[in-house]
Amino acid sequence: MKAKLVKNAFFLVLIADITIRIMGYHEFDKFLKPLLMPLMLYYLIERAAGKIYRNHLILALGLIIAWIGDILLLNKEPLFLKAGIGVFLITQILYLIIFKSNIVGSVKQAILENKVVSGAILLYLIAMLLAAALFVEIPMVFFISIYAIAVAGSTLTSYLQDKSQPGYGLTTIGMSLFLISDTLIGINNFITAIPLAPLFIMGTYGIAQYLITEGVTVNEEMRN
C-alpha cells in the first residue's frame, strides 16, 4: 500500500513538473525535478520490502546518480551540461551491469539470437554519431558520442536479457523510453526546438525510470 502511494506521488510530481515547464514557469522546475529520483528510490525500497539484493543496490546507486544528474542539468551552462552527461553515463553503465547479469550464456550468443534488435540499435547509434558530428561543436561532440554509445549499449543489453523473466518487457520498454528521451534532448538542444519538449522529454524519462525500477524489482523477486 505504501509503495503504491509513493508511486502515485512520483507521477503527480512528474505531471506537475511537465505542466509548469510547458506553462513557462521554469523557476519551479528546480524544486520539482529534484524530487523525482528520491521518490523513485523510496519506491524501490518499499517494493523490495526489506529483501535487498545485489541488483537492488546497483539500481539504487543508479537512481542516486541520476538524481545528481537531474540537478546538474537544471543549469544550462556548458560546464554543467558536460557534468550532467558524465553523471548519466555512470547511470547507464550501472543499468548495463544489471541487465548483463540477466543474460543467459555469452553476450555474443545473445546478440546473434537477437539480430534484428541488435542491428536496429547499431543503426541508431551510427545515426546519432553522425548527427553529433554534424551539429555539435568540439569538445561537446566527444561527450555526446561517448554517452550515445553507453545508452545504446545499455538499451541493447536490456533486450539481450533472458526473455522468460517477468520484468523483461518492463525493462526493455523502460530503456527504450530512456533512449528516446536522451535522443529528444539532443535534438532539442543541438538541432531544432521540439514543440512541447518538456512533455516528451520528461514524460519518457520519468516513465522510463519507473519501468526500469519495477522491472528490476520483479526480476529480483522471482530470482530470489
pLDDT tens profile 124-159: 999 999 999 999 998 899 999 999 999 999 999 999
Check residue 78 and give left, alpha or beta (phi > 0: left; psi -120 to 50: alpha): alpha
pLDDT at 110 over 80: yes
The pLDDT assigned to 176 comes to 98
Helix 168-190 / helix 115-135 crossing angle, nearest 10 deg? 20
Round to whole Å and give the CA distance between 222 and 224. 6
| Nearest to 158, CA basis, from 212, 202, 112, 204 | 212
The pLDDT assigned to 131 comes to 95
Question: What mean pLDDT comes out for the span 161-165?
Answer: 95
pLDDT tens profile 77-100: 889 999 999 999 999 999 999 999
pLDDT at 183 over 90: yes
pLDDT at 163 over 90: yes
Question: What mean pLDDT comes out for the span 194-222?
Answer: 95
| Nearest to 161, CA basis, from 122, 207, 214, 117 | 117
Total domains in the chain come to 1
> The whole model's pTM is what?
0.95
The pLDDT assigned to 17 comes to 96
The pLDDT assigned to 86 comes to 95
Check residue 147 and give left, alpha or beta (phi > 0: left; psi -120 to 50: alpha): alpha
Produce one character per residue of 139-160: b if its CB has 16 or more CB atoms within 10 Å, e if not: ebbebbbebbebbbbbbbbbbb
The pLDDT assigned to 107 comes to 94
Pick 36 or 223 by higher pLDDT.
36
Contacts (Cβ under 8 Å, ≥6 apart) of 13: 32, 35, 36, 39
Task: Identify the band that residue 12 occupies on the pLDDT scale cut at 50, 70 and 90.
Answer: very high
Domain residues for the domain of 156 are 2-223
Question: What mean pLDDT comes out for the span 101-105?
Answer: 94
pLDDT tens profile 15-71: 999 999 999 887 888 899 999 999 999 999 999 887 888 999 999 999 999 999 999
**Contact between residue 68 and residue 87 where contact means Cβ atoms under 8 Å apart:** yes
Pick 75 or 69 by higher pLDDT.
69
